[in-house]
Amino acid sequence: MEEIEISSWATLDTLKKAADVVETVGDLHSDQEMYVFCVLDEDYFELGYSAVGPNYLRHYADEDEFAEAIEKRREGFDGSFVDDEDYDDLEDEDFDFDDESDDL
C-alpha cells in the first residue's frame, strides 16, 4: 500500500468520478470521516475524506489487499452506528419538547 496526503476534497471527488466505486464506509456529516473504495483501470484506491484531519489517497497493490482494507474499515465503523432498535426506543420515550420554561 502506498499513501499520499491530499489537501483538497475536489481532487478526491475528481478521482471518485473517474473510477468505479466499490464501497463507501462512513459519512462526513455524522462520522466526520468517509472512505471511498474504488477501482480505476486496474488500480485499487481508497479515498479518505476527513472533516477534522488530513485527507488521503491510498493505492493498494492488488485486489486481495484492497478487499482486506475494506473489511478492516468496515470493522472500524461497526460499533459507531446507532442501531435502528435503539432509535425506535428513543422515539417511545415521553419527551416533551413543546414545554418551554419560563426561566429562559
Query: How far apart, in whole angstroms, are the C-alpha atoms of residue 103 and residue 86?
Result: 32
For the segment 30-51, what is each residue's pLDDT rounded down to a tens digit? 889 999 999 999 999 999 999 9
Query: How far apart, in whole angstroms, are the C-alpha atoms of residue 19 and residue 33?
Result: 20
What does pTM read for this prediction?
Answer: 0.72
3-state secondary structure of 1: coil
For the segment 6-34, what is each residue's pLDDT rounded down to a tens digit? 999 999 999 999 999 999 999 988 889 99
Beta partners for residue 79, in sequence order: none
CA angle 39, 41, 44 (to 5 degrees): 35
